[in-house]
Structure formats: structure tokens, C-alpha cells
């Protein structure tokens, strides 16, 4: 089967403004810390001819598995990234070029998607995280703290009961 993200562009090169729309999928396997994207990436966009090559504009999206940086709750969320990539007849510094009359829009789309993965995701802005002493999820259960017990008001009561 033809790769949907390898777009034939021979008829666009040198024809400024002539364009072709594309949409396709490719499996990706990306990781940043505890955040992962493993599965199909969807890419859609448009390739436009320029004097010396083509310009691709694309939007990439995929389901990411994220883990809260504070409380370790995990969830799935769609991550989206947009970008542009110019492909010349001769390879440029990025190594992106027109090969055999086609361009691979999947590679730069994957790179943009990797950059869009949050490095330290939070389940919600005000997540309280886990108690560093007992590990209780403080969003669900205020563990009461672990201060010096003799400072607590209960210490005096306990002394009364003990005597
Ligand atoms: Zn959280
Ligand atoms: Zn605690």
C-alpha cells in the first residue's frame, strides 16, 4: 500500500502556489519522561509549490498517555502540533529534500509532535500531589501532616489520658 504521508510533488515544484492536500496515518513511538505516545499519528495538511521546491504545512495529532508530575494519576489526552517544512530539490541542512519526486511529511510531523509532549504534565493546575512522608494523595485525603507530635494540641490531651 502506498504510504499516505509520502506525497508526490513533481507537478508542484516550480509552480508557486499550486497545491495538494493530504491526510494520512503513521504509527509512532515517542517518550518524554513518563509521557508516551504509542500508536497512530494522524497528519493532515497541504503541500504548496515554490520556486525551488515545495512547502508543507501540517497538523499532527495523536493520543498521549500522561502521568501527573505531582500525584502520579494517569490519563489519555490528544496532543496536537502544527508545523511547516520546506523541501528543496537539493537537500538542505535539516536533511529534508524531495526524494524520487516525493516528500515525506511524516518525519517533520513526528518531530513537532515529540516537541509538543508536556515534560511535566499536571492532572489539574492546583494538584496537591502526594504527601512526601506517607504517600497519601492529598487531593483525596488530607493526611494530617507529620509534624513533631509533642507540638500538636492532641499531645497535651494524650498526657492527661495516660496519667
Ligand atoms: Zn495530579
Ligand atoms: Zn502524610
Residue in 35, 12, 37 with CA at minimum distance from that of residue 22:
12
For every residue of 11-39, DSSP letters joined together read TTTT-TT-EEEEEEEEEEEEEETTEEEEE
Q: What angle do CA 145, 158, 135 make, to 5 degrees?
A: 20
CA 99 to ligand 1 centroid distance, Å = 46
pLDDT tens, residue by residue, 41-73: 999 999 999 999 999 999 999 999 999 999 999
CA 154 to ligand 2 centroid distance, Å = 17
pLDDT tens, residue by residue, 65-105: 999 999 999 999 999 999 999 999 876 666 688 999 999 99
CA 137 to ligand 2 centroid distance, Å = 9
102 and 136 housed in the same domain = no
* Mean model confidence pLDDT for the chain: 89
Q: What angle do CA 58, 64, 65 make, to 5 degrees?
A: 175
76 and 143 housed in the same domain = no
57 and 134 housed in the same domain = no
Q: Is 68 helix (H, G, I), strand (E, B) or coil?
A: coil
Domain that holds residue 163: 128-163
pLDDT tens, residue by residue, 111-124: 999 999 999 999 99
112 and 145 housed in the same domain = no
Asked, for residue 1, whether it belongs to a domain, the answer is no
Amino acid at each position: 500500500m502506498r504510504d499516505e504521508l509520502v506525497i508526490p510533488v513533481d507537478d508542484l515544484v516550480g509552480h508557486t502556489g499550486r497545491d495538494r492536500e493530504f491526510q494520512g496515518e503513521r504509527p509512532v513511538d515517542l517518550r518524554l519522561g513518563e509521557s508516551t505516545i504509542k500508536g497512530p499519528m494522524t497528519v493532515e495538511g497541504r503541500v504548496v509549490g515554490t520556486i525551488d521546491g515545495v512547502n508543507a504545512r501540517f497538523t499532527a495529532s495523536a493520543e498521549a498517555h500522561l502521568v501527573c508530575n505531582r500525584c502520579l494519576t494517569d490519563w489519555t489526552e490528544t496532543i496536537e502540533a502544527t508545523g511547516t517544512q520546506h523541501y528543496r530539490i537539493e537537500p538542505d541542512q535539516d536533511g529534508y529534500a524531495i526524494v524520487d519526486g516525493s516528500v515525506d511529511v511524516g518525519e517533520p510531523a513526528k518531530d513537532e509532535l515529540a516537541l509538543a509532549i508536556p515534560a511535566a504534565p499536571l492532572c489539574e493546575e492546583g494538584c496537591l500531589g502526594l504527601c512526601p512522608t506517607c504517600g497519601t494523595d492529598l487531593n483525596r485525603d488530607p493526611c494530617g501532616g507529620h509534624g513533631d507530635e509533642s507540638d500538636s494540641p492532641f499531645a497535651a490531651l494524650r498526657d492527661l489520658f495516660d496519667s
